[in-house]
Amino acid sequence: MMMGRGDPEALKGVQLAPGIVRRAWRFASPYRRRMAAFLGVIVAEALLGLAPPLLIRQIIDNALPRQDRGAVTLLAALMIAAALSLALLSLVERLCSATIGEGLIFDLRAALFDHVQRMPIAFFTRTQTGALISRMNNDVIGAQQAVTNTLGSVVSNVVVLATTLVAMGLLEWRLTLLALVLLPLFILPAKRVGRRLQAITRESFNLNAEMNAQMTERFNVSGALLVKLFGRSDQEHADFTDRAGRVRDIGVRSAMYGRTFLVALTLVGAVGTALIYLLGGRLVLSGGITLGTLVALGAFVTQIYAPLTQLTNARVDLMTAFVSFDRVFEVLDAPLAIADRPGAIDLVRPRGRVELEHLWFRYPAAGEASIPSLESAPDRATSHDASRYVLRDIEATIEAGSLVALVGPSGAGKTTLSSLIPRLYDVTRGAVRIDGIDVRDLTQDSLRSAIGVVSQDPHLFHESIASNLRYARPGATDAELEAACRAARIHDTIAALPDGYATVVGERGYRMSGGEKQRLAIARMLLKDPAIVILDEATSHLDSENELLVQHALAEALRGRTSLVIAHRLSTIRDAAQILVLDEGRLVQRGTHDSLLASGGLYAELYRTLVREQAGAA
């Protein structure tokens, strides 16, 4: 959640990274010329704002006493010209502000998106999605406000205050001092009421965040389904209306505090203006100053109180704005734990031979894979123990074009092992080699373009079927899509839909059945045409009839490709050229189906269990 603007309580204990202001200025360097123009326009507006009171003074003191109609006309025309010039400068200021602000938002968001999507998968397993999205939206906007709104407001208020006080001092120094005497009457209410408004705003932000979290979790398909299945709709409504009611009450209190504050400042301003006219009027009667000077001072005094009030929170506003920059840079500075090495080479014409060379692996600790501020406290408390190896001294060779089955009890490390081949994680010790080359010496793009993965729960974007398929190969033709879908035995199902390949699959593909999603994922993999295929329980959601169809499709599609299959299906296991048996992170057995059955041990036990389960299912 983004901090409230001008929130000193939220800033307590916050330490900005050294040089954050200098770095923020460097990030905004492409816009320095526009920023100089922006600040120049602000100065010009402040100076031009002095003209109307001074012109009125000339009308009252000079033109009217002489009954000079021409002078009155000229001075009035100058006032109109000043107003038009201020209007034009205001448009120029807004153009500068908008181009700088929107340009900076674009740069920050593009940089954040590019950096985050290149983070290792461990980062996403630990990071709260909502917190990350907030960092890319709210904090980016906060950083933009630091450059345009906050900086512009501070400069504008300082310039207006300085020029107005100089002009007042030149006209009448005694009345200028009187105006400054009232300064505490602006600062003290601003601080007292401001602190109360900040507390109310903070509470409102928290409640709104809770409402947003409730809506985000309950309004996706999984959350809505859970609420309905457990019959909790009334309780959810009660929880939401309770939070919404508190937000309503806080809104009323905030409005009343804000209006009371405004009324108080208006009264103080009115008292200040009255005192100026009271004492200034006496000076006019005594001949100390002219009537035009008094009128000009009365106009100027109304111009100094608003900047004075706003500048009381200038330090907090700037600090808050630069905290947003600091939080953005925190993400941009997060190291890419998995990156291309200098001199990394492309994997050209891969054959698909995979070697696991004395492979040890443990999950990275929190500090190595994530940003603490993007995690929840419970997540940090239950983080992977970096000292515990989940894979231990795995050594195996998968020949090009062969089918290898990976079996073992739940938690044995099968999926973890398969994730090391496309380098979703880096091995802790040892190496994974493709065609004799350590995957860490290959470019990630070329490595992953050679590998196709179909997981147990494949992900589909909330887009059309055709768009999801073309994610594998954007330039694929309609004929190629159809060929891949026919091979995956899903084309007839798609063709029967009212919108065919233009059908939107829904969030996470919820409009499709489990078997349909997996066959779409298989079609997407076939469209990619990889040299190495990893199937992680890819047929687990298919009934026997559909499984048979897909198995026939896969048998043809996987021919000539290296295939690593994590499966509990007997048909897949029997057909494997080699079976690797994992238990507690160790490779305990290897061989063909017949040889492993004959030797007994864990594989024979697992196989007998599978036979009983599938016989019972039948």
CA distance 128 to 453: 25
CB-CB neighbours of 369 under 10 Å: 25
Structure tokens at 232: 């909790």
In this prediction, residues 483-506 reach a mean pLDDT of 89
Contact of 374 with 128, CB cutoff 8 Å: yes
The one-letter code for the residue type at 273 is T
Residue 70, pLDDT > 80, answer yes
Buried (b) or exposed (e) across 378-407, using 16+ Cβ within 10 A? ebeeebbeeeebbbbebebebebbbbbbbb
Q: Among 192-201, 248-257, 275-284, where is mean pLDDT lowest?
A: 192-201
The confidence score (pLDDT) of residue 9 equals: 43
**Phi, psi (rounded to 5 degrees) for 19:** 75, 20
Residue 216, pLDDT > 60, answer yes
pLDDT-derived band at 74, boundaries 50, 70, 90: very high
User: What's the pLDDT tens digit per position in 287-318?
Assistant: 888 999 989 988 888 888 778 767 766 666 66
Nearest by Cα to 279 from 269, 289, 264: 289
The residue that leads in pLDDT, 216 or 494, is 494
Residue 616, pLDDT > 90, answer no
Residue 190, pLDDT > 80, answer no
- Torsion (CA) 281, 286, 292, 296 in degrees, nearest 10: -50
Residue 395, pLDDT > 90, answer yes
Residue 231, pLDDT > 80, answer no
Residue 448, pLDDT > 80, answer yes
Nearest by Cα to 185 from 297, 261, 276, 279: 261
pLDDT-derived band at 614, boundaries 50, 70, 90: low
User: What's the pLDDT tens digit per position in 82-130?
Assistant: 999 999 999 998 888 888 888 888 888 888 888 888 888 888 877 777 6
CB-CB neighbours of 139 under 10 Å: 24
Burial (CB count within 10 angstroms: exposed 0-12, middle 13-18, buried 19+), residue 612: exposed
What's the mean per-residue pLDDT of the chain? 81
587 beta partners: 582
CA distance 477 to 4: 50
In this prediction, residues 374-391 reach a mean pLDDT of 61
Contact of 324 with 145, CB cutoff 8 Å: yes
**All domains of the chain, ordered by start, with CATH?**
18-171 (1.20.1560.10), 458-529 (3.40.50.300)
Q: Which residues contact 3 (CB under 8 A, 6 or more apart)?
A: 10, 11, 142, 320, 323, 324
Nearest by Cα to 497 from 455, 539, 466: 466
In this prediction, residues 322-345 reach a mean pLDDT of 84
Structure tokens at 354: 């995979």
pTM: 0.73
The confidence score (pLDDT) of residue 7 equals: 44
Residue 255, pLDDT > 90, answer no
DSSP helix/strand/coil, 119: coil
The confidence score (pLDDT) of residue 326 equals: 80
Q: Which residues contact 307 (CB under 8 A, 6 or more apart)?
A: 156, 157, 158, 160, 161, 164
For residue 46, give Cα distances in angstroms to 160, 171, 246, 389, 468: 5, 18, 42, 67, 56
The confidence score (pLDDT) of residue 316 equals: 60
Nearest by Cα to 327 from 30, 17, 22, 103: 17
CA distance 538 to 307: 66
DSSP secondary structure, 437-465, as one string:
EEGGGB-HHHHHHTEEEE-SS----SSBH
Contact of 429 with 594, CB cutoff 8 Å: no
The residue that leads in pLDDT, 18 or 120, is 120
Residue 10, pLDDT > 60, answer no
**Helix intervals (H) in 118-232:** 121-126, 129-145, 151-171, 173-181, 183-218, 221-229
Structure tokens at 423: 């380098």
Residue 356, pLDDT > 90, answer yes
Contact of 384 with 343, CB cutoff 8 Å: no
The confidence score (pLDDT) of residue 429 equals: 94
Can you say whether residue 408 is alpha, beta or left, with left for phi > 0 and alpha for psi between -120 and 50 degrees? left
User: What's the pLDDT tens digit per position in 123-172?
Assistant: 887 777 767 777 777 778 777 776 677 777 888 888 888 888 889 888 88
